Structure 1
Amino acid sequence: MEYTFYDDPDTAAIICCHITENKSPILYVSHDEDDGMWQFLCGKEHEIDEARLVSLQWVFDLDNSISTLKDMPCGCYAERITQNDDWVIRKR
């Protein structure tokens, strides 16, 4: 699938180690209002040391289903129960 985000593919994104190391699915995505940073998490509680910095392209290649979130404005987040569910977007 072709990269669909408006942000540059090399844009830094935060992802949790549960996804990168344990192959947990992405179940929570935040597009932060203060700095526009994208965060991709497994839906569990996290400590700071569990964060990893990767490119937005890397996350997109890992899970193309995030492409539906390309228009999600800053200050919003998206959740889903399982990897097969649709994303539900909410404003903070």
Structure 2
Amino acid sequence: MSFNDPEHTMAFTTRRVTEQNYPVLVVSHDAEDGAWQFLCGTTNDPKEGVTEALGSMLERHPEIEELADLPLGWIAWREDETSAWIREPRPG
């Protein structure tokens, strides 16, 4: 694993990503606490939010490993699962 965080580190995601295999289209590496968010971009409903171990996220969605070097305070997004990631500082 190329993330600097241990694979048991908890990340924020949604039930759609973990249970319905929606693609990860938005990734955030939070500046405040270093937390990772792996989101599908289809819901803002707090009831959909779950935590998942980083290692488990990598098993389900190996393409997120491309973003292991995403700096704190940055976000990456893509239009769909075949598109290239676009990286930028998180608006703030």
Q: Name the SS for the 1:66 alignment partner.
A: helix
In the alignment, which residue of structure 2 is the partner of 1:20?
18
In the alignment, which residue of structure 2 is the partner of 1:11?
9
When the two structures are aligned, how many residues end up with a matched partner? 90
In the alignment, which residue of structure 2 is the partner of 1:55?
53
Question: How much does 1:45 deviate?
Answer: 3.2
- In the TM superposition, structure 1's runs of 4+ consecutive aligned residues that sit over 2 Å from their partners are none
Percent sequence identity over aligned pairs: 34
List gaps (5 residues or longer) in structure 1: none
In the alignment, which residue of structure 2 is the partner of 1:69?
67
Confirm whether residue 85 of structure 1 aligns to residue 83 of structure 2: yes
- TM-score scaled to structure 2, two decimals? 0.92
List gaps (5 residues or longer) in structure 2: none
Question: How much does 1:44 deviate?
Answer: 2.0
Aligned-CA RMSD value? 1.0
Distance 1:28 1:43 in 2: 6
- TM-score scaled to structure 1, two decimals? 0.92
Question: What one-letter code is carried by the residue in structure 1 that aligns with 2:18?
Answer: T
